[in-house]
Amino acid sequence: MWTYQHSDFLVHQIPALENNYIYVVADKHSDNVLVIDPALAELVRDACKQLNITPSHILNTHHHWDHTDGNAQLVAWYGCEVVGNAADTKRIPHISKTIHAGESFDIGSLHIQSLDATGHTIGHIVYVIDDALFCGDTLFGAGCGRLFEGSFAQMWTTLQSLAALDEQTKIYCAHEYTLANLSFANSVDGNNPELQARIIKDTQTRNMKLPTIPSSIGLEKHTNPMLRALDDDFCSAYNPGKTPLEVFTDIRSKRNVW
């Protein structure tokens, strides 16, 4: 488990399954403890025991089992409130507080902004708490989620809205896929010096068995091939005459068969 300081809360990062991350957000000013996408309840219980805190809420980004399988047990143990998209009420187990994409709400002293993040699934939302983004399977280190339900255009709209967040915003995504994504990135953006520097740095990080996550919006804008179409110079060098959406579509499609 790793812990990151934000001004009003701590983020605890728990590795789970093969490459998932579960996040536990502890409010510094109240007893509220938010568990983001609990793949497994036992890992959350053990981490919270160690930290001497008690989960009060679960925030789900989307319905996939590796984000929600811990819901039932955490509700049984702690009576957690389960927050998720009203549009996914039938698919998120034990959901008890529905919100609409784009809605903001408060838990204790934490102000939480949800954003629509359709793409990986229909109904995927992300949560922004101050300078922390919990984005599930939408934006990854140097990549983005597979399009299981949404269209390329929907995912591109989602990625643009995340890229518009402050560059300092930390990205807490749900999987450690960065090195594989960087290897692909090198095949489409190999002349990018910032990408080359990131490959060296993140490879060293993983060699030390440390997470490459959290990343930041600024780093992703400059090195993530799924966001590079935001840059007009990149687009014209990649394929002159294509729109940013067409460039994104081409790159996301290539990643599927990489």
Q: Output 55 or 150, the one with its CB closest to Zn ion.
A: 150
The residue count for binding Zn ion (CB under 5 A) is 2
- Cα Rg of the chain, angstroms: 18
CB of 184 to Zn ion, least distance (A): 19
Q: Is 65 helix (H, G, I), strand (E, B) or coil?
A: helix
- Could you tell me which of 77, 71, 131 has the C-alpha nearest to residue 97? 71
CB 209 within 8 Å of CB 179: no
Of all residues in the shown chain, the one whose CB is closest to Zn ion is 64
Interacting span for Zn ion (CB under 5 A) from 20-28, 57-65, 214-222, 224-232: 57-65
Q: Which of residues 132-171 bind Zn ion (CB under 5 A)?
A: 137
Directed axis angle between helix 193-207 and helix 178-189, to 10°? 160
Among 45, 57, 63, 64, binds Zn ion (CB under 5 A): 64
Distance CA 48, CA 80 (A): 13
CB atoms within 10 A of CB 218: 15
Closest CB to Zn ion among 64 and 252? 64
- How far apart are CB 137 and Zn ion at their closest, in Å? 4
Q: Which stretch binds Zn ion (CB under 5 A): 59-67, 85-93, 155-163, 237-245?
A: 59-67
- Distance, CA of 14 to CA of 38 (rounded, Å): 10
**Distances, alpha carbon 255 to alpha carbons 59, 150, 186, 240, 258, in Å:** 29, 16, 12, 20, 5
Closer of 177 and 234 to Zn ion (Cβ)? 177
Tell me the closest approach of the beta carbon of residue 176 to Zn ion, in angstroms: 14
CB of 174: closest distance to Zn ion in angstroms? 7
Interaction between residue 37 and Zn ion (CB under 5 A): no
* 26/126 with CB nearer Zn ion: 126
Interface ranges with Zn ion (CB under 5 A): 64, 137
